[in-house]
Amino acid sequence: MQFRSELPIVDLTFWIQGNIEILHAGTQEQIISGLGDLTFGKEEQLVMTYLQGEPIIICDVRLAPTLFDELMDELALTRYDFATILGGQMNRTFHRLLLPKAQSILQDVRSHSFIGAMRKMFLEGITLELLALCFQYALLEEEVLPGAQ
């Protein structure tokens, strides 16, 4: 499976199940189930290889950099804008093991029974919860957010 795009992105990927190899920027990487990646930058050509017959489960959430910057602005965290995080690099990735809370949220996504507009509302809420959890863990681990004590 191959992906290619030149768009700048904020990409949150959870590698939930499967034996996956990725080739990007000339580097081959074995992906371990239970890992979450938060990536800022331009999406590069990506070749993903997995074993036929072995199920894979991946959850991927993408934001436009402008939306990410708006969210950080609303939180009074403008020092974490897209360009500042990149710091002149083409891409920057934060690799983290899935937190137990994120694992629980992802299980809820897989087992929910909502349909139609309720499904959309449920998934949008869950997506915001995952983003908040991962931004806190990857970017703000050492900080206390304004108003949070």
CB 60 within 8 A of CB 10: no
pLDDT range class, residue 21, cuts 50, 70, 90: confident
Determine, yes or no, domain membership for 130: yes
Instruction: Give residue 106's domain range.
Output: 2-139
- Mean pLDDT estimate for the chain: 83
Determine, yes or no, domain membership for 144: no
The pLDDT score that the predictor gives to residue 67 is 92
pLDDT range class, residue 142, cuts 50, 70, 90: low
Q: Tokens 């983003």 correspond to what residue? A: 131
pLDDT digits (tens, 9 = 90+) for 73-119: 998 887 889 999 998 888 888 887 788 888 899 999 889 999 999 99
Q: What values do phi and psi take at 18, rounded to 5? A: 120, 160
- Can you give the CATH number for the domain in which 120 is found? 2.60.120
pLDDT range class, residue 147, cuts 50, 70, 90: very low
Determine, yes or no, domain membership for 47: yes
The pLDDT score that the predictor gives to residue 148 is 44
28 versus 147: the higher-pLDDT residue is 28
pLDDT digits (tens, 9 = 90+) for 41-79: 887 667 778 777 788 888 999 999 999 999 999 988 878
How many domains are contained in the chain?
1
Q: Classify 112 as helix, strand or coil.
A: coil
User: Cα–Cα distance between 118 and 114 in angstroms, integer?
Assistant: 6
The pLDDT score that the predictor gives to residue 78 is 79
In the predicted structure, residue 149 carries a pLDDT above the cut 50:
no
Q: Classify 47 as helix, strand or coil.
A: strand
CB 47 within 8 A of CB 67: no
Determine, yes or no, domain membership for 146: no
DSSP structural state of residue 143: -
Amino acid identity, position 142: E
User: Cα–Cα distance between 80 and 85 in angstroms, integer?
Assistant: 6
Determine, yes or no, domain membership for 148: no
The pLDDT score that the predictor gives to residue 22 is 81
User: Cα–Cα distance between 59 and 144 in angstroms, integer?
Assistant: 28
